[in-house]
Structure 1
Amino acid sequence: MSDAMELDGPPRGAKRKADDLDNITIPRRIKPLDQDVVNKIAAGEIIVAPVHALKELMENAVDAGSTSVEVLVKDGGLKLLQITDNGCGIDKEDLPILCERFTTSKLQTFEDLQTIATYGFRGEALASISHIAHLTVTTKTRDSNCAWRAYYDSGKLVPAKPGQSPDPKPVAGRQGTQITVEDLFYNVPTRRRAFRSPSDEYNKIIDMVGRYAIHCSNVAFSCKKHGESSTSIAVQASASCLDRIRQIYGGSVANELTEFSTSDDRWAFKANGLATNANYSTKKTTVLLFINHRCVESSNIRKAIEQTYSAFLPKNGHPFVYLSLEIDPRRVDVNVHPTKREVNFLNEDEIIQAICEHIRSKLAAVDASRTFVTQTLLPGGTWSGPGSDPQKSTAAAPSKTSTSAARKTAARPNENNLVRTDTNLRKITSMLPPAAAAGSSSGAGAAHNGDAEIRYETVDREVTACRLISIRELRAEVRDDIHHELTEIFASHTFVGVVDERRRLAAIQGGVKLYLVDYGRVCFEYFYQLGLTDFGNFGVIRFNPPLDLKELLALAAQQEKDAENGRDTRNEDDDDDDDFNVAEIVELVAAQLIERREMLLEYFSLEISPTGELLSIPLLVKGYNPAIVKLPRFLLRLGPHVNWTEEKACFEGFLKELAALYVPEQLPATPGNEEGVAAEEDVGISDEIRSRRSHVRRALEHVLFPAFKSRLVATKSLMQGGILEVANLKGLYRVFERC
Structure 2
Amino acid sequence: MDVDTAETRGVKRKATTQPPNEPPRRIRALHQDVVNKIAAGEIIVAPVHALKELIENAVDAGSTSLEILVKDGGLKLLQITDNGHGINRDDLPILCERFTTSKLKAFEDLTSIGTYGFRGEALASISHIAHLTVTTKTQDSSCAWKAHYAGSKLTPAKPGQSADPKPCAGRQGTQITVEDLFYNVPTRRRAFRSASEEYAKILDLVGRYAVHCSGVAFSCKKQGDSSSGLSVTSNASTIDRIRILHNSAVANELVEFTAANERWGFKSEGYISNANYSVKRTVLLLFINHRSVESSAIKKAVEHTYASFLPKGGHPFIYLSLEIDPARVDVNVHPTKREVNFLNEEEIIEVICEEIKASLAKIDTSRTFLTQSLLPGSKVPTITAVTPMRQGVNTQTPAKGANELPLSKSDSQRPSAQKAYENNLVRVDNKARKITSMLPPGQRPSGPTEAQNEEPAPDDMEYEYSEKEHTICRLTAVKELRAGVREEMHNELTDNFAKHIFVGVVDERRRIAAIQAGVKLFLVDYGMICNEYFYQLGLTDFGNFGSIRFNPPLSLHELLALAAAHERQTAGNIEGFDWDEVVTTIEQQLVGRRDMLAEYFALEISPEGELLSIPLMVKGYTPSLAKLSNFLLRLGPHVDWNDEKGCFQSFLRELACFYVPEALPPPQVSNASGVEEEELEDPGITMRRKQLHRAIENVLFPAFKARLIATKGLLKGVVEVADLKGLYRVFERC
- The two structures have a TM-score, normalised by structure 2, of 0.50
Larger Rg: 2
Higher helix share: 1
Under a length normalisation based on structure 1, what TM-score does the superposition of the two structures give?
0.50
